[in-house]
Amino acid sequence: MGGWAEHIGRRPRAILGRAWDADWYMLIAEHGYGRVLNWPGAVQSDLAFFPLYPALVRGLSALVPDVTSGTLGLLVSWSAALVAAGGIYAVGERLYGRRAATLLVLLWGLLPHSVVLTMAYTEPLLTAFAAWTLYALLTRRWLWAGGLAVLAGLSRPNGIAVVAAVLWVVGYEIVRGGARGRTLPERSGNPGTPSTPGTLGTPGNTAESGRPGNRRDPRLWAAAALAPAGWCGYVLWVGFRTGDPLGGYFAVQRGWTSTFDFGAGSARVVRDIVLRPAVLPLTTALLVVLAAVVLFVLFVLGRPPAALLVYTAVLVLITVGGSGFFESKPRFLLPAFPLLLPLALALTKARPRSAIVVIAALAGLSFGYGTYLLTLSPIAL
């Protein structure tokens, strides 16, 4: 990508660090919120962008003021991508073993739109927090799950999926603990039966203890209180800043022509793609979204842990049901790494040569298409 960018007279670091949404984030890091662009039919406010990523860049800028914000943004994104890969591996290894975990990370890193993981975008940051939150839920580390969900909620709008997963699992633990406490005596010294791997309605494949959570455990309640604080806090802050506490943030999103309409807007775009000539990024986005829906069905049929199911379901619902920026939907799905579990498990059963061919083909596709998106695509990523 770098060589081709130089060939066409563009600087690779500028493409990765200041293109499209990256430039909005860097301007927030440099000058704070307050930028508004008016276009025919759209009013684009930087309040649509969640604050954690630019805050990290701004904090690093205070430590190393001689380094440009774009470079620091790339440092944050690349570091987050590595942390995300570690979290994805941890989740996969805990549920299905090392081979499946390794393949899961490879598949995630070789998606057609995985070039976003090298840009000054927030998908790596959200994925990192999401993966380790899910791991914390699987291992019943409630305070870690709640705290990481706060950070996920400050990273991106679809960080609400992480919040939903924490609230579902913690809520289940509280309800289950109360119900069991009324009907079964507490037996000291017995850790209980481990949770069944992949059973819906349980926090996941946990080996430490299958005993229901104690509804009086303050860690459960603290996690439930913490989890939505980041996402709700920013949405309310935008609301108060715009004069509409409950609806202000969503009005900002409408200014970007981004709304949740249960897929009506997406259906119109799909109709246009099918009936009229469409640019390659739109056609590819349609294929990726369709593949994601198929993978979600396979994922559900595999009876995953509830934490992964709720998280992935909310991400897919937001992506498919949202209107606006259809070409960006594959990017919005990057944090939905559990969708790749059916493929990873299938590759564990394949012959090594077949698995190598699939991985190599994906690597070639990801490399070539990523270069096209950053240097030749007629529309924003």
Whether residue 192 is predicted with pLDDT greater than 50 in this model: the reply is: no
Give pLDDT, residue 199. Answer: 37
- Between 181 and 380, name the one with better pLDDT: 380
Residue that the structure tokens 């943030």 belong to: 249
Percent above pLDDT 70 for the chain: 89
Angle at 177 between CA 309 and CA 315, to 5 degrees: 15
- Between 214 and 155, name the one with better pLDDT: 155
Whether residue 208 is predicted with pLDDT greater than 80 in this model: the reply is: no
Whether residue 201 is predicted with pLDDT greater than 50 in this model: the reply is: no
H/E element, 45: strand 42-45
Whether residue 184 is predicted with pLDDT greater than 90 in this model: the reply is: no
The 3-class secondary structure across 124-158, one letter per residue, is HHHHHHHHHHHHHHHCCCHHHHHHHHHHHHCCCHH
Give pLDDT, residue 206. Answer: 42
Whether residue 4 is predicted with pLDDT greater than 80 in this model: the reply is: no
Give pLDDT, residue 311. Answer: 98
Give pLDDT, residue 105. Answer: 98
Q: How far apart are the C-alpha atoms of 350 and 344, rounded to whole Å?
A: 10
Residue 371's identity, in one-letter code, is T
Whether residue 287 is predicted with pLDDT greater than 80 in this model: the reply is: yes
Give the mean pLDDT of the chain. 90
Whether residue 174 is predicted with pLDDT greater than 80 in this model: the reply is: yes
Sign of CA dihedral 116, 35, 37, 266: positive
- Split at pLDDT 50, 70, 90, the class of 9 is confident
Q: How far apart are the C-alpha atoms of 308 and 161, rounded to whole Å?
A: 10
The predicted-structure confidence for 105-126, as pLDDT tens digits, reads as follows 999 999 999 999 999 999 999 9
The predicted-structure confidence for 122-140, as pLDDT tens digits, reads as follows 999 999 999 999 999 999 9
Give pLDDT, residue 212. Answer: 56
Q: How far apart are the C-alpha atoms of 39 and 44, rounded to whole Å?
A: 8
Q: What does the pLDDT average to over 64-75?
A: 96
H/E element, 322: strand 322-323
Give pLDDT, residue 200. Answer: 37
The predicted-structure confidence for 358-371, as pLDDT tens digits, reads as follows 999 999 999 999 99
Give pLDDT, residue 7. Answer: 64
Give pLDDT, residue 113. Answer: 95
Name the least confident of 74-78, 190-194, 312-316: 190-194
H/E element, 284: helix 280-301
